[in-house]
Chain A
Amino acid sequence: DIQMTQSPSSLSASVGDRVTITCRASQSINSYLNWYHQKPGKAPKVLIYTASSLQSGVPSRFSGSGSGTDFTLTISSLQPEDFATYYCQQTYSVPWTFGQGTKVEIK
């Protein structure tokens, strides 16, 4: 199974901050890396798919990069509605696996 490791597990940031979350795969997954965010009590929503493609309707302050084993999600200017938990996920091979999550909290 491919293990996905996110860092950090949590972070505190202020509105307007630039935030970066990293995700590392235990083996190469090409660009089959997706990012989701989840607010308490709600279902996850896809933000970025295939490493760098922005899902329709997602603000342009979100961006993704990387390939192979190392990936990054960047929020260029954190907004109040962005405080949530973020998960990376590989869809390169079965079983599909998620990172452990990164909780973004208000400083």
Chain B
Amino acid sequence: QVQLVESGGGVVQPGGSLRLSCAASEFTFSSFGMHWVRQAPGKGLEWVAFINLDGNNKYYADSVKGRFTISRDSFKNVLYLQMNSLRAEDTAVYYCANYYYDSTHRYFDYWGQGTLVTVSS
């Protein structure tokens, strides 16, 4: 049973930092690119960041570019999201998801349960 388990969420003041983790198990972590997706309270899904399977390619949503950094440790099977200069609008549940990608198909396959980040003074 594939498991992705996020952690590291919490309450942080505007301008603060937080690091999220996503631990993968029963899953060939090093074979997949990984995404972070967030969902503000009562809102829809917003893609945040992507890292490819070897960590050499990264993409970010414009809303987080320059403030968030995605990384991975394929020895520990953990995905990270370092979030700096946090703003109230970053308040959301953050999900990690793996990217199924082949010559025909591209979709977000397994998702974690999410971790809540609240940016408030």
Residues of A within 8 A of B (CB): 32, 34, 36, 38, 42-46, 49-50, 53, 87, 89, 91, 94-101
Contact = CB atoms under 8 A, between A and B. Distances in A.
The DSSP consensus for interface residues of chain B is strand
Interface of B: 35, 37, 44-47, 50, 59, 61-62, 95, 100, 104-109, 111-114
A46 B59 contact: no
12 contacts: A32-B106, A34-B108, A44-B37, A46-B108, A46-B109, A49-B100, A53-B105, A89-B107, A89-B108, A95-B47, A96-B35, A98-B44
B106 A43 contact: no
A49 B114 contact: no
A50 B47 contact: no
Contacts of B35: 96
Nearest to B49: A95
Nearest to A50: B105
A29 to B, nearest CB: 11
A97 B47 contact: yes
B95 A98 contact: no
A87 B95 contact: no
A46 B61 CA distance: 22
Given A50-B104, A95-B59, A43 B44 contact: no
